[in-house]
Amino acid sequence: MDKLRIVGGTPLRGEISISGAKNAALPILCAGLLTADSLSLTNVPRLNDISTTLRLLGNLGVRAERHADESVTITADQISSLEAPYDLVKTMRASILVLGPLVARFGQARVSLPGGCAIGQRPVEQHIQGLAALGADIHIEHGYVVARATRLKGAVIRTDMVTVTGTENLMMAAVLAEGQTVLENAAREPEVVDLAELLIKMGARISGHGSDRIVIDGVESLHGAEHRIIPDRIEAGSFLCAVGAARGDITLRGAAPETMGATIAKLREAGLEITCGDDWIKASMDKRPRPVDIRTHEYPGFATDMQAQLMALDTLAEGTSVIVETIFENRFMHVQELLRLGAHIDIDGHTAVVRGAPRLSGATVMATDLRASASLVIAGLAAEGETLVERIYHLDRGYERMEHKLRTLGARIDRLTGKETT
Ligand code: EPU
């Protein structure tokens, strides 16, 4: 298994490009199931989760062409299966996103239940109840969600909590339903908005996306479209935390600062100097960070997907900070590993109290999930000496060539491939 070796202590300087957003690209690829025409997508990041999605779609009969320039064309004109098998779903929970489109267009789907994951249980009962409200006959059988419908019928659906992929799945189902659907308590994340924008280009009638009430008037069919995936706000935020911890002066091109309000505000509070244009962010840091408290929240609040990275910055702060995780029940897996680097963190339930230390010291640590991995890389960049981050396949799921981008910024980081490390 690959590892990253980081020699910390080098300030980051230079310019990199931000990739397309993983969590926008995943539902958008699944939206390709809603039409027999082609979707031409650009700014699709090169990530393992994207390859898994293309494999999953390929298994259903979708034709996908991936081009060198980060564009992908998908065509779902010859669907040969309506089943998402356990082997593919278990490696990537977002596979549940094929459920809504398959039931909406083909009136049938069999999708494996994802099961728990490192950050929490992550059930999908809201997806299932929402589809039932749209008239699907849906139940769980042998570990699979099995759904049938002649044509879905619009309904008012209020989810019990704000769910990002739940909103996306139900929106994709409702676009082909008969009549009007209203999604109340809908997720407002930019990735949900990006999906809605694509669906509108495909002929869907959607309004209210970006608010917590999305109104969808079903249409008979959708057509092909071209779409550019929005920039990844979590990738950009992770690089900003990295310069906060390692210090230096960086510019991020192809970013979307207007989707990053909460992160940028917290990083300014930590002492970073940040200036933004429409599609770029410049950030510099020349001192120890100030401690910042955070409480994760649905968009536009502080993203749970940025919690671990900001905690890495707080471990170096001049003072104590309090971090409360409200979205997932088990998203402090990085804490044990940060302690190995010399951080001082106490956890009490959903709250972590971080007492900043003047320095961290390199050690071997293990990545447990995607954002935890990024947090360990950030801490490693600031730590004295060598840090080895193991199990970085998590990182490869969601960050495009992170070590290359960090090397461009002057970091001393390299990948040890399976062979070199055994
Ligand atoms: N929930 C339920 N029942 C449901 C659906 C959700 O109890 O039917 C709970 C979850 O267990 C969680 C909360 O509701 O406690 C919010 O979960 P949500 O459904 O919003 O999460 P998700 O859609 O599965 C997406 C992102 C995650 C991100 C979360 C929260 C994608 C593919 N994934 O997950 O991204 O953390 O929203 O913003 O969009 C990541 O990229 O590292 C990542 C984990």
* C-alpha distances out from residue 304 to 33, 163, 329, Å: 29, 13, 11
Six-digit token string for 202: 């495909």
The residues that bridge with 3 in the sheet, in sequence order, are: 416
Mean pLDDT across the chain, nearest whole number? 96
Q: How confident is the model at residue 1 (pLDDT cuts 50, 70, 90)?
A: confident
Mean pLDDT of 175-179: 98
- Give pTM, 2 decimals: 0.97
Evaluate if residue 38 carries a pLDDT over 90.
Answer: yes
**Ligand 1 centre from 97 Cα, in Å?**
12
Which pLDDT score is estimated for 77? Answer: 97
Evaluate if residue 420 carries a pLDDT over 70.
Answer: no
DSSP state of 37: S
**Ligand 1 centre from 82 Cα, in Å?**
24
Angle, CA of 62, 67 and 70, to the nearest 5°: 105
Instruction: State if residue 238 touches ligand 1 by the CB under 6 angstroms criterion.
Output: no
Which pLDDT score is estimated for 68? Answer: 85
Instruction: State if residue 124 touches ligand 1 by the CB under 6 angstroms criterion.
Output: yes
Strands 156-158 and 180-184: parallel
Q: Please tell me the number of Cα atoms within 13 Å of 15 on its side-chain side.
A: 5
Q: Which residues contact 288 (CB under 8 A, 6 or more apart)?
A: 271, 316, 317, 318, 356, 358
pLDDT by residue (tens digit) across 336-365?
A: 999 999 999 999 999 999 999 999 999 999
Which pLDDT score is estimated for 116? Answer: 64
Which pLDDT score is estimated for 223? Answer: 98
- Where residue 143 falls (left for φ over 0; alpha for ψ -120 to 50; beta otherwise) is left
Check if the beta carbon of residue 252 is closer than 8 Å to that of residue 280.
yes
Instruction: State if residue 161 touches ligand 1 by the CB under 6 angstroms criterion.
Output: yes
The residues that bridge with 384 in the sheet, in sequence order, are: 361
**Ligand 1 centre from 165 Cα, in Å?**
7
Six-digit token string for 289: 């960070």
Mean pLDDT of 82-107: 95
Q: How confident is the model at residue 91 (pLDDT cuts 50, 70, 90)?
A: confident
- Cα 96 from Cα 94, distance rounded (Å): 5
Share above pLDDT 70 across residues of the chain, in percent, rounded to a whole number: 99
Mean pLDDT of 8-15: 98
Select from 50, 95, 165 the residue to mutate for testing ligand 1; criterion: most ligand atoms less than 8 Å from CB.
165
Which pLDDT score is estimated for 15? Answer: 98
- Cα 1 from Cα 32, distance rounded (Å): 33
Select from 125, 164, 328 the residue to mutate for testing ligand 1; criterion: most ligand atoms less than 8 Å from CB.
164
Mean pLDDT of 380-386: 98
Ligand 1 atom index nearest CA of 398: 41
Q: Which residues contact 335 (CB under 8 A, 6 or more apart)?
A: 311, 343, 345, 347, 352
Of 221, 212, 211, which is closest to residue 185 (Cα–Cα)? 212
Angle, CA of 413, 419 and 420, to the nearest 5°: 45
Q: Please tell me the number of Cα atoms within 13 Å of 89 on its side-chain side.
A: 20
**Ligand 1 centre from 111 Cα, in Å?**
18
Which pLDDT score is estimated for 120? Answer: 77
The residues that bridge with 320 in the sheet, in sequence order, are: 355
**Ligand 1 centre from 162 Cα, in Å?**
9
Mean pLDDT of 292-305: 98
- Where residue 270 falls (left for φ over 0; alpha for ψ -120 to 50; beta otherwise) is alpha
Select from 48, 122, 305 the residue to mutate for testing ligand 1; criterion: most ligand atoms less than 8 Å from CB.
122
Instruction: State if residue 370 touches ligand 1 by the CB under 6 angstroms criterion.
Output: yes
Instruction: State if residue 76 touches ligand 1 by the CB under 6 angstroms criterion.
Output: no
Q: Which residues contact 404 (CB under 8 A, 6 or more apart)?
A: none
Mean pLDDT of 276-282: 98
Mean pLDDT of 260-288: 98
Cα pseudo-dihedral 334, 340, 341, 344, rounded to 10: 80
Q: Give the residue numbers annotated as catalytic, written as ranges.
A: 117
Which pLDDT score is estimated for 118? Answer: 76
Q: How confident is the model at residue 421 (pLDDT cuts 50, 70, 90)?
A: low
Evaluate if residue 422 carries a pLDDT over 60.
Answer: no
Evaluate if residue 259 carries a pLDDT over 60.
Answer: yes
